[in-house]
Amino acid sequence: MASCHSSKRSVDPYADYTPEATTAQGTISGAQQAAIVKEARRWLGTKYRYGGHSRKDGTDCSGMVMEIYDQVCNVKLPRSSREQQAFCKGINRKDLKVGDLVFFCTSKDAKKVSHVGIYIGNGKIIHSSASKGVVESSIDEPYYIRTYHSSGRVPTK
């Protein structure tokens, strides 16, 4: 499994955060966006575990995303990053809002989604790296530019 080339670092959970509320029906609210960022930052430093989905025992990228959306928004996402990508409403990268998902092709098949992160604003995502666990990374790093596949907005009730 390919790893995400990111660095662990200590992060203030509220630094530089401004909700970018979406108002269209069926999208998450500004309050939910803030809660997603807060919860995602609680996962920082969680160890990587393929197939995992807990802060205590470890998580992979899609497991973390699945758990955060279930806890914060009561939305049941599919388990794999590929299925999560199909579940979301596709959006242009320039239209990313806090809470949107960003998908990457990090495996040998350059067209097959294999990684997901939660967009937290200011060009940053929180995701679970196979080599470093849950970290915050810039989507403008060369690795993420090269492996970027698509972005999606999670539909809500």
Asked if residue 13 lies in contact with residue 38, where contact means CB atoms within 8 angstroms, the answer is yes
Tell me which of 4, 61, 88, 105 is the catalytic residue.
61
| 127 part of the active site | yes
Tell me which of 53, 73, 105, 115 is the catalytic residue.
115
Asked if residue 127 lies in contact with residue 46, where contact means CB atoms within 8 angstroms, the answer is no
Tell me which of 4, 53, 127, 149 is the catalytic residue.
127
- The DSSP letter of residue 94 is G
| 5 part of the active site | no
| 115 part of the active site | yes
Return the bridge partners of 150, or none.
103
Rounded Cα gap, residues 50 and 22, in angstroms: 33
Question: Which residues have a catalytic role annotated?
Answer: 61, 115, 127
